[in-house]
Chains A and B, each alone.
Chain A
Amino acid sequence: MAADSKVPISGPGRAAAEAFRAGGAADFLPFLWVTGQVALLTWVVDVYEIEQAAFGHVMQLTLVGFVVHHFLPPALKLPFFVLISVLALGLVLGAVNAAWVVAVGLALIGACHLPISFGKRIAMVVTLGATMVAFQAGWVSSGKISVIWPILGSMFCFRLVVYLYDMRTQGGAFGFWRSLAYFFMSPNVCFLLFPVVDYKTFCKTYYNDEPVRVYQSGATWISRGVVQLVLYRFVYQFLVMDPSEVASAGDLFRYMVTTLLLYLKVSGTFHVIVGMLHLFGFNLPETHHRWLLASSFVDYWQRINIYWKEFMAKLVFYPVNFRLSQREGISEKGALVLSVGISFFFTWLLHSYQWFWIRGTYLLAAPDMAFWGILGLLLAVNMLWQQKFVRKRSLKKGGGWSWKSDLSLGLRTVLTFMAICVLWSLWGAESIGEWLAMWAQAVRVEPGDVGLIGGVLLAVGLAGAMLGRSQREWTYQGAAGKGVAKAAATGLNWRQLGWAGAGVLASCAVLMTPVKTRLVYHASPQVASVLKSLRTSRLNVRDAAILEHGYYEDLTHAERFNPQLFELYSKMPAGMDVRIKGEGIRPTHDFRRRELVPAQSAVFSNGIELKVSAHGLRDREYDLHKPAGTLRIAVVGASEVMGWGVENHETFENLLEDWLNTHNTTDRYSRYEVMNFAVSGYGAIEKLIVLEQRVLDFDPDVLFYMANKKEYQLVIDRIVEAVRAGVSLPYDFLETITAEEGIDRDTHKVLAKGRLRPRAPEMLGLVYNRVASLCRDRGIQPVWVYVPQPGAEPPNRRDINKFFGHAEEAGFDILDLSDAFAGASTDELRMAEWDSHPNVAGHRALAECLKRKLQEHPRLSHLLLGDGVPIDRVGQVFKEPSRVQTKE
């Protein structure tokens, strides 16, 4: 490999770079202008926690590196970029892992340059790749360095193919630093889903324009990317629907459009990545171009993920088409259709291949195949059409068009938008059956639906007519490109830089609007709450449920089509199974689905043991018969109460028990017992079953019904799962409601959930009434406790407030622990980024909050903690009407 550090920059960029170093304030000010923007963007990235803390650190490194890099002589710029990239690896992965990434990467690059035949080099690279496959798939253990394989996969899985292709076709200049810069690009360590940068373009665009102009476009693209990522958060957190929520044509439309808009995550990420590379002189072309405004399928393919389209055209479409065209018996049209078909087959296959490198698992799902197959077919038909009826082009920039052509363009944009929305909704569906069930639910048209659908489509049509004709921002004009020469000749244009920079500053100013200012808060507390919520990366309610569902079921769908969960699962150790394993938990084949096994144990995914007591509780040992003078509190709940991932003595109910016993200064009770009947995954119905079948045998004085944010959802999900599995429902009122809604074994779960959703408040209310009346009949005081999850609480408490209403109506005393985690960061309180169960600190915070709320509650503090109620009268006092009932 030739050493290229002496001449890394060619063309106008080199002259400009050298001139700059010799220049004065006139050159310095534009650079300062851009540096200010990059600094501001770094701050925005930090405040919004874009792509988690690791990216914030890499962005800070990029800012410092950008300034130093600019003042270096041209010969040192590429080596310095490589140094920054390696430092970014170390910053995120640690020194040892970073060293391994570099070592394996060097081996792969070295294999491409061995002094042997090209075929043998390919064989060598394939052998090394196969070894990496074995590590990534877990066939061979790589121990503590297993974290490096997804990074290496992301860096090399496609770029190595392009590199070898360009080597074969002499498509680019090769050199040591250039190759290292190409493979170890600094943003890659934070973004595993990385655009397939073309090697030749990477080389040709390096400082092919005035440096400050390249930097300015970098700042502009980063700002565009950040805006898109914040918009994505808004769509994701507030607009996305679950398929089972679709109940009308308007809902279906909203579902489809928001599913498509989730792509903002990829588009925004790619803008940020390429923008960062611009700061080091890589003047790469844009990765997406107004992809919502495509006016045909061919146009769509040319606007969305442009690098991928170029990659497929370069490596598959053109080579296959050229080969087929030379064969006898294959027509021009036949060759076109076949080459499109083969390109889309590879697109599907390579997405699975990419998935393997990122997750270490295989991705084979019917909606994926259907999506790529249908898109490929539509594209082939569209290309045949264009082959026959040549589309209108013009040499005039945005001119020469009539209102008729504008109208036609707008209409075509709307039709393409709709078709793409339909296709994306198919891609996003768990199965084709789910997708069809969703359509079956959307036959009703609500009054506002026409306005919603018409308004959105009109906006798309108008935007398409006005903006759809714009040309891509292509910075690579080729070796003889006049555009570059002209740009170099004209030098810097202050007005151009000023406007571009003003756009960046305006974006930052809007994003950094203080959410707590009186202006925003008084205008609308709800808007202030939304703005605040956008500043953190969190799962929406639907994905939090999918993630939690993964603790008991298969994870495949959650991983497949979901940028947020995709990101989250990418951070999990490869092959990690989050389910509990061992003899301590077993399936029941009834409505509860699982139970703890007495005197057995199991292991959580973090290695902590789940010890089950002789009576089948995740707790200490207690006698069946309550000892004299003891106040016994029974706790029913789900995994966060059971103590997922923490030791027995660390659960908040045991911390409460310890506190009650150590601070028992009265003679009322000789002892407190807090008995934990919680089992992971249990919803309201299962808790009622536990109360009836298990809790009452232990003669408790108080019941703590622990509720969480999924009260409605778990009632619906469990009923649907039971009915579809042929498991009988435990209560008549549930049988009646499911029969009234026409739900049986054959009803698709999306349809069944959609029908039950409006009945959820009624069902939960009935369950609560039953729990409360059962307690009152037995002299047990029912207490409803709301338990939050660290970082997983929905920003909108509408449903949670309804739960409080149901509990009050049923006659529970209420303890709200919503503020248990206030003042601490989410990461300090939860198990892991992909696991929102409270950790040891989280359980301590819950225990502290529960103690405080008990002390503050006039009635409960009097009954449980205060003087004046003899032990033999406790049950009788509890039978008295509660605070809420008194009001009624």
Chain B
Amino acid sequence: MTLSNAIDSGPLFSRDRDWHPAAYTPGYKTSMTRAPFRPLVALGSTLSEETGPAFGQSMIGRLDNNLILNFTGQPAVGERIIMHGRVLDEQGRGVPNVLVEIWQANAGGRYRHKKDGYLAPLDPNFGGCGRALSGPDGSYEFLTVRPGAYPWPNHVNNWRPMHIHISVFGSGFGQRLITQMYFEGDPLIARCPIVNTIGQQKAIEALVAPLDMNRAIPMDCLAYKFDIVLRGRRQSVFENRKEGM
């Protein structure tokens, strides 16, 4: 076994449940009937969480990370942006071959979904999803349009800040994570009940992407940087495992 394999297959760092949102968050009404009331049964990770599905570059299509063109081949309407960053673990190491999937509303704040009845129109050239595999240093990149803010039924006048949904896999199933990226300077972030399911301000800030003028392309598009951090893994070489495991 090589050292890098040993690192990648070690037990997972335990999740900091005070950093993540709680399950039961009355400001976000739907959570009130979908949150478990009994305590989670907590124990260290096992092989079932330390292993996970592997994805390869062969399954990624040429336009999969280009949401401006990947629906019809004709460009979607909206503010053109690059969304880029690295997938890291809690030790700060880039994690390669991570499947990053994103989905979002169009520039007017409307989703291509039968349950979304918002009055902003669909863009015939915007599907709203994309995917990419992180590179050797954990880096990933999408080209898309900045999604619009939109109202949602919770309290009477709640609006979601502009956001992109993000789903990531690590090397272990226990690292599976879904989160959302927000945009620097959006005044709706502080007013959003879903954002505010997160208790700590520093944790909220970890989901706000700064404008990155160095990655913007003059006369073409702006850029936002968003690093994604997965649960860390201990080095398995010193773990007390029985022979043959």
To the question of whether A and B form a pair in one complex, the answer is: no
Binding site for A on B (CB under 8 A): none
